[in-house]
Structure 1
Amino acid sequence: AAPGGGVEAEEVAAGPALGRLEEEARRRRERLRALRQRTLQNKDSGERENKQLREDDEEETVKHKELKLRNYEPEDEELKKRKVPQAKPASVEDKVKDQLEAAKPEPIIDEVDLANLAPRKPDWDLKRDVAKKLEKLEKRTQRAIAELIRERLKGQEEELASAVGSAKQEGSDSD
């Protein structure tokens, strides 16, 4: 590297052959140079501003150095004036009561239902699914039984009527 900007001469010589990383490094160097130039220019005109900033910083440090005596019992009268009174803890009883009420368990069942405790048979789900179909069949079966009973009663009435009719005929013949 030659004195007085030899790096720039090398960068110009390389031209478009610079890699991506080299290009980023070159940009950073340019930004740093621009920043240095700005700081040098501001140094001359910015001394007045710097004094004002220093005064502001001093005021802030004074504010931060204010004593707050919380756990210390001062002996000096002047320091006793700066003592912070004891903080009173906030009441959390209401919050705790609300949380306890929200966390109350459901009442325990006194009587145990044996149907829920006993293990189910392996085919319980099949029986449950077929139950609806069986209800329909049960209704049809009851109707069929009622119809058969009616037919038998009609048949018996006809037999009874024919028996009564034949008895009348026999009775009229015997007279």
Structure 2
Amino acid sequence: MPKVTEEYRVARRDEIADAALRAFRRKGFQATSMAEIIAESGLSAGAIYGHYPSKSAIVVEVAARVVDARVHDIERLSELTPMLAPPAIPRMLALGMLKAVGSPAIMVQLWGEGMTDPEVGLLATDVVERLRSALTQYVSLWHRRTHGTPADEADRLAVEQVPLFIATVQGYVLQASIVPDFDGEAYLAAVEKYLPR
């Protein structure tokens, strides 16, 4: 039997996760069955279940990829001179997540599923913690570089301010999902104008 490489396994998992995301975009997370994910992927049920034991496991993989990309975006911003002001980061995060998942409603469904599915709930907690950690480091560094704030004070300011930045992203996603006349551009412009610097 030929040996399967790690690169092949990763590529196959990505293929399955991409197929699941396409299905989720069409029908939403809750309404999409494993059978529909299998059909969308063009693979056998055995191939799917060999990589993912459940739909929740696929969701966890998809969400982890999206968050990894956003954390990487924040880390790259730290290398810029001058650094992007923190109130501009919610725009990058919200639009980056929406581009990756295709619909804000999918993200809201995922949050809702986290209330009843422990695996998805742990994922939701992990997502917030990872974003909070990356943003806290960024905001603290921004205060030190931009305002010359001492490290201890910059850390304290970051801890205070970061929940606001995360909440604005969550607010954008929720309103984009349920408010028919939501003006996302006006919302993000207000975030950039009024959030602390």
TM range (shorter): under 0.3
With normalisation by structure 1, the TM-score equals: 0.20
Structure in which a larger fraction of residues adopt helix: 2
Structure label with greater radius of gyration:
1
